[in-house]
Amino acid sequence: MRGSTCSLTSIGRLAKAANVSPRAVRHYESLGLISATCRGENNYRYFSDAAIERIGRILDLQNLGFSLHEIRDVLMLDPSSIASNLHEKLSTVDQEISQLRQRKDRIVNLLSISEKIQSSRMIGTHERRVYMDAVKEEVIKGLKTRQGSVKDIHLEFLKRDQSLYDSPEKRKFIEAVKNCIFFAKTHNLTLGQD
């Protein structure tokens, strides 16, 4: 709107109202942080009152540690969009924390079972199942690393152990055998034939 009557704020008045120097206003404009609304007949740039608020926001963001280039990116986004993105990111981080806590709990549980096994203490059926599942996962991971894939024959072999515990009778029998072996070891008894 060059040449028309423009009753908006000049750079000097804008600088004074926003409590910054005219040089800062020109710098903000050169970076695209603010823009003049129009040019007067004198060819001077004039700004709307919204520019005062915008400079206030720029100063607030600078006080929070943002650079002017970062501020330009921030100002391009709608504040509600920023809040929405931050809520989404927070939700993702909360999910990651929850998953990490679950992994930690599982590792602590497996470590406890492992320490019982190393010290030759009896473990329960559930502890054994949890431990063997972890062992199977490690075996499968190792097969994938070494061979690139896991074949059906490998999976069938891993399922054999699981079938030993698929009924209460089998579980009781195996627990009885394990108790006998444990008793023999703790009393230095020899099992089997020489």
pLDDT in tens, 9-64: 888 999 999 999 999 999 999 998 998 888 877 878 889 888 999 999 999 999 98
Which residues, in sequence order, are CB contacts of 10 under 8 Å at separation 6+?
44, 45, 46, 47
Which residues, in sequence order, are CB contacts of 31 under 8 Å at separation 6+?
68, 69, 72
* Alpha helices by DSSP H, the chain: 11-18, 22-30, 50-63, 68-76, 79-118, 125-147, 152-163, 168-186
Would you say residue 84 has pLDDT above 70?
yes
pLDDT the model gives residue 55: 93
pTM of the model: 0.43
pLDDT in tens, 90-133: 999 999 999 999 999 988 988 888 888 888 888 888 888 888 88
Compute CA 30 distance to the chain's CA centroid, rounded to the nearest angstrom: 37
Phi/psi for 10 (5° steps) reads -80, 170
pLDDT the model gives residue 27: 93
Check if the beta carbon of residue 143 is closer than 8 Å to that of residue 136: no
Q: At what angle do helices 50-63 and 68-76 cross, to 10 degrees?
A: 130
User: Average pLDDT of the chain?
Assistant: 81
